Copies of this chain bind each other. A is one copy, B any other.
Amino acid sequence: MVKITDVARHAGVSPSTVSYALSGKRPISEETRQRVEDSIRELGYRPHAGARALASSRSNVLALVVPLRAGIHVPVVMQFAVSVVTAARRHDHDVLLLTQEEGEEGLRRVADTALVDALIVMDVQLHDRRLPLLRGLDRPSVLIGFPAEPAGLTCIDLDFKAAGELCVEHLAGLGHRVIGLVGSPPEVYVRETGFAQRVVQGFTAAADRNGLSSSVHPCEADPAAARQIAEQLLRERPALTGVVVHNEPILEPLIDAFEALGLRVPGDLSVTAICPDELAGRVRVPVTSIAIPAAEVGAGSVELLMKKLGGAPVPQATLLPPRLTLRASTRPRP
């Protein structure tokens, strides 16, 4: 193994000069820097990560905690992970993969052993058990998702309230006057990740603002429930012409159910959804939708961490603006 002293000898300088030439933490003449770089290339030198971490108390590794719970949309998680890795590499950092299964102990372990410099935690629950730990850790962290009490933490996510609003604005802009939100299963509104509530807030606020008649319908995640909701809507709100769906598994079944009841999408009924693009695009009638901007969230969380590691202040909450992708499922009210 070639080490820094080898490079130093080869370049005719001291080891510290090599180090400074590499890190740029002290001025080095252009000429020596060049010589050092040549030696490095020639000898194929790579600084030993452990030695570096020990001496500098920086490992240049970030921890990423990925969720395992059922009901998580896996491709989206993977998108997060990939964008985190890519963004981290841009800052000369690597990513250590942790599963949620490891829990608090795992977080404490990688932080306390100085294996990682900072942590990214995905799929944060409203009352996540890891929050006190993260607050107390001596290493910075960023949460993807918002807990009930984000004080003392740094969080980033899609602005779900704005997403709810945007769906409504879109429908309102197309002239729809009576709309409904078909939401997540009831239990999601109680515990879980809190984004569900925020969609409802945005939906309701925007509907009121636009003078629309609106209603909200939590729905279990199975086709039978979807059919039932469809029938109910038809019966109770016959003037309905716009629907917002925030419940991935039933998006397609719900559309099927409406069509089975004689409502054409988008002819009689416009449908928008908040769901991964991948899903919205492969439904029989491609659905106008707002996606989770996984790549942006992942990259954003890394940027936040880098700022924190650099000692810069960061906002406590970062809300990414929703973007609506137009597809075939919405059109002006007949």
**A77 contacts the other chain (CB 8 A):** yes
Contact between chains at B46 and A50 (CB < 8 Å):
no
What is the bound-complex CA distance between A86 and B52, given in angstroms? 28
What is the bound-complex CA distance between A115 and B112, given in angstroms? 18
Contact between chains at B98 and A85 (CB < 8 Å):
yes
CB neighbours (8 Å) of A77 from chain B are 78
What is the bound-complex CA distance between A143 and B216, given in angstroms? 50
CB neighbours (8 Å) of A46 from chain B are 109, 112-113
With both chains docked as a complex, state the minimum distance between the C-beta of A23 and any C-beta of chain B, in angstroms.
Answer: 15
With both chains docked as a complex, state the minimum distance between the C-beta of A5 and any C-beta of chain B, in angstroms.
Answer: 15
**A205 contacts the other chain (CB 8 A):** no
Contact between chains at A47 and B95 (CB < 8 Å):
no
State whether A97 and B85 are in contact (beta carbons under 8 Å apart), knowing that A50-B59, A53-B49 are contacts in the complex.
yes
What is the bound-complex CA distance between A81 and B80, given in angstroms? 14
Contact between chains at A114 and B82 (CB < 8 Å):
no
Cross-interface CB contact of A94 among B54, B89, B110, cutoff 8 Å? B110
Interface residue ranges of A51-110 to B (CB < 8 Å): 51-54, 59, 61, 64, 66, 68, 74-75, 77-78, 81-82, 85-86, 89, 94-99, 101-102, 106, 109-110
Given contacts A48-B113, A94-B110, 18 further A-B contacts (CB under 8 A): A44-B112, A46-B112, A47-B113, A49-B50, A49-B59, A49-B114, A50-B52, A53-B53, A61-B96, A61-B115, A74-B78, A75-B75, A81-B97, A85-B97, A89-B106, A94-B96, A94-B97, A94-B115
Binding site for B on A (CB under 8 A): 44, 46-54, 59, 61, 64, 66, 68, 74-75, 77-78, 81-82, 85-86, 89, 94-99, 101-102, 106, 109-110, 112-115
